[in-house]
Amino acid sequence: MTWKIEDNSLDNQQLLVNESLFSLGNGYLGVRGNFEEGYREDYLSIRGIYINGFYDETDIQYGEKLYGFPEKQEKMVNIIDSQEVLIYLDDEAFSLFEGEVIDFSRTLYLEKGYVQRNIHWRSPQGKEVKIQFKRLVSFSTQELFAIEIMIEPIDGIQEVKVISEVEGDVRNFVDDNDPRVASGHAKRLTVREIEEREGFSIIKSKTEVTNLEVSCVSSVFINHQTSHQRTVKETSVSESFTCETGKPIRFTKYNVYTDTRKHGKQLVDKAVEIQKELSIQPFQAIVKQQESYLNAFWELTDIKINGDEEMQRGIRFNLYQLLQSAGKDGLSNIAAKGLSGEGYEGHYFWDTEIYMFPLFLMTQPKIAKSLLLQRYSLLDAARARAKEMGHQQGALYPWRTITGKESSAYFPAGTAQYHISADIAYSFIQYYLVTKDEAFLKEYIAEVLFETARLWIDAGHMRNGKFRIDNVTGPDEYTCIVNNNYYTNSMAKYNLLWAVKVFNQLQDTDVMEEIMVKLHLDKAEVKNWLQAGENMYLPFNEALQINEQDDTFLQKAVWDLESTPKDQFPLLLHYHPLTLYRYQVCKQADTVLAHFLLEDEEDLDIIKNTFDYYENITTHDSSLSYCVHSIMSSKLGYTSKAYDYFSKTALLDLNNTHGNTKDGLHLANMGGTWLAIIFGFCGLRVKENGIHFQPKLPQQWEALSFKLRYQKRILELDLNQEYVIYKLISGENLTIYHNEKEILLEQHETVKYLM
């Protein structure tokens, strides 16, 4: 049961949630979990198919526009709809909302990579049929979305008609009442070409502003028929098949999507070529390819939990959806909602680097590398944004973007979050520590670290012997435009000192000479980085013995969370931002997050005091918050609390606890589930001298096991309530640390230590 997600609800609100939960994707293409035949006319559906990084631009409307405000916003586009398949039993249309549903189930198979609906239905006129729908988005052929339908007439049916449609007249979803969802610009795609060629239905469309093109080439096969008719309309192509009912009917539909960003100008020809390659592959062969890909993924990425079936299902679901969402081509990243919905309009945030990247780094490093390459490809845009923001040098990565342009219209909680540049730098550093990829260090990491270090020098200043960074926003979006946000300053310090470290490591090499010429870099700048990093101001309150979130946070009144009505959460939907900014109230982990990422900055007592203080004023209105509090609860020995926070993380979408899963899944929270297990319960930390573990297994679990990749090695951990077993499965001997004790592992050796 822990390898599948099931639901048989026909309630509209749950169907909307299920459209996200049962979405399918492969990092390039994503399809929401809509019914092929549709819903009732009075039901809302967010019907969508998306390509990662395929976007249009819309004008941002300001009442008062000032210098440097973005004029355009990038927006993921809902593309050509190939999902529709209608079934008629004689003259009656099949619908789960008419007649009698004798049996109905929908299942997402996490091991196999497809969704299946099994239906036993009796029509209003008494016609009885069994129908099985299968659909998948292929990991092997990333352009492919495939559907197979088995129709088994049971009673009273003389003829079955199947109508397959590809529709180019599509729109994006809008919601005027939720700032997390777009409120306009629904029509972004126009059909430019429509045709039938070599038995394929072809639609090519173009975006309104960016002039990007997308094509869908669809092929249909049905095992026996008495007639076939194709109709080409202005925006759609439909095929109608009439079938005899003497034996079960097998209907297969292959939809191949291509776009100009990935496939160039000849995108239709490329799609036709892929279709021809697929024509010799039956649906079952594609299913086998899917299973093979996932077997390899789960072999290294699965986390096995004994004694807690609900959490086991939750973590596997989250890992699977992360795989479906991650860009793997160096052109795309991971959107906040992945490819499961239109919340946050397909934008990439710091969510990738801090919450999702670590999973791929330590289990699927090729994917991790492609994510870094995508960020590197935006470095010139980050340099341009820094200059637009008044800086003479450096790289300021945009808060929310697809291709590198800032798409945040609300700068206090967007552009002002300068920490994203340090977050990206942090992920490049982590990649180096885990892989020791020296070539990548020279070709990519050094340049990113140097340019982000330059930003901090230009954004900050020395005063009274301390380097300070004013007028920024940290991760807590309920506190904006502050001086010396602890998280920002500590991450900037790490960024600066690592830039110095890499410079010194590569000094006097031909590579460094090339970089210095390219960047017009001199050693005096590097000295400034060192001075700023070593003298970074990190706010601290002597009386409370905690790190202050910023210079003035503790001067404010404390928000009375206990007296706030439950229907007033999340606060951002019920209170003006200025009201929130005037109180001590946190949307999510901020200083606590810094203590997780950079725990060596402070003593454990200060970390504990800080956690205790901020926990009481944190709403967790952000889905990014629970996992960090779970990790730090584990660190501090709050084992019951750690599990409680983890459970909220693991089941956030499956239980729709934030009430907006219909707009797409919370991918960063899903990454946080992995973090809460590996960095929380198992106490993993990646440091310069190696990897450290301080495991504390929850009382609810009998055992836990998983694998990690580290410096060309594969390490396996098995934990129970008494001890942990470390095993080096492959690679050269490795030194690790268990509760600060140094351990040398030899290949295939197993060592056991008490928890």
- pLDDT for residue 363: 98
Residues with Cβ < 8 Å from 352, sequence gap 6 or more? 333, 334, 371, 427, 668
- Residue 224: predicted pLDDT: 82
What SS3 state is found at 664? coil
What are the two backbone dihedrals, phi and then psi, of residue 571, each rounded to the nearest 5 degrees?
-60, -30
Give me the active site residues, please. 477
* Beta-ladder partners of 89: 92, 160
The reported pLDDT for the residue numbered 186 is: 81
pLDDT in tens, 632-668: 999 999 999 999 999 999 999 999 999 999 999 999 9
The answer to whether 618 and 569 are in contact (CB under 8 A) is: no
Q: What is the pLDDT of residue 176?
A: 57
664-705: per-residue pLDDT in tens?
999 999 999 999 999 999 999 999 999 999 999 999 999 999
Determine the pLDDT at residue 171: 94
Q: What ranges do the domains of the chain cover?
A: 4-270, 687-755
The CATH architecture to which 4-270 belongs is: Distorted Sandwich (2.70)
Report residues of the chain scoring pLDDT below 70. Answer: 176-184
Return all residues near 433 (Cβ < 8 A) that are at least 6 apart: 686, 687, 688
Helix (H) or strand (E) holding 296: helix 283-301
Residues 6 or more apart in contact with residue 39 via CB below 8 angstroms = 12, 15, 45, 97
Determine the CATH number of domain 687-755.
Answer: 2.60.420.10
Checking DSSP bridges between strand 249-259 and strand 304-306, what pairing results, if any? unpaired
pTM of this prediction? 0.97
Residues contacting 54, CB < 8 A, separation 6+: 76, 77, 79, 212, 214, 259, 261
> Which residue's entry shows tokens 């593309």?
79
Q: Which residues have C-beta within 8 Å of that of residue 475, sequence separation ≥ 6?
A: 417, 419, 487, 588, 589, 590, 593, 624
160 within 8 A of 246, measured Cβ to Cβ: no
> Which is nearest to 24 in space by CA: 345, 342, 343, 340?
340
Strand partners, 706: 717
List helix spans (H) across 460-485.
none
pLDDT at 179: 52
